[in-house]
Amino acid sequence: MEYEYPIDLDWSNDEMMTVVSFFNAVEAFYENKVQRETLLARYQQFKKIVPGKAEEKQIFKSFEQSSGYSSYHAVKHAQTATDQQFVSDNTK
């Protein structure tokens, strides 16, 4: 798919790469599967860059509008999954 990632130009290159890495894990959740711990670890790194809930919601909404993928749904699924090494969106 061709879409843009919601990034802030004030972020450093490392911060931008961290945010893109998180969104890559969200994409893997929808397109294939991703290790639960990988998704959650990348979300924790994302939260170090975007600690505020309001900004997180805005970035998630922008990514969902662009890609069709809900970051919120992916993270919630990974957080509530029990004893699953891999998580994916099974609603396809």
CA distance 25 to 21: 6
Distance of CA 78 to the CA centre of its chain: 11
Give the pLDDT confidence of 50-68 residue by residue, as tens digits: 999 999 999 999 999 999 9
- What confidence score (pLDDT) does residue 81 get? 85
Residue 61 lies in a domain: yes
Residue 92 lies in a domain: no
Number of domains the chain contains: 1
Residue 60 lies in a domain: yes
Residue 6 lies in a domain: no
Residue 59 lies in a domain: yes
- What confidence score (pLDDT) does residue 90 get? 66
| β-pair partners for 48 | none
Residue 55 lies in a domain: yes
Q: How far is CA 38 from CA 4, 26, 35, 41, 66, in A?
A: 22, 10, 5, 5, 23
Q: Does 92 score more than 70 pLDDT?
A: no
- Domain span at residue 23? 13-81
Residue 1 lies in a domain: no
> Which CATH number belongs to the domain containing residue 44 in this structure?
1.10.220.80
33 Cβ contact partners less than 8 Å away, ≥ 6 residues apart = 86, 87, 88
Residue 4 lies in a domain: no
70/81: higher pLDDT: 70
pTM: 0.90
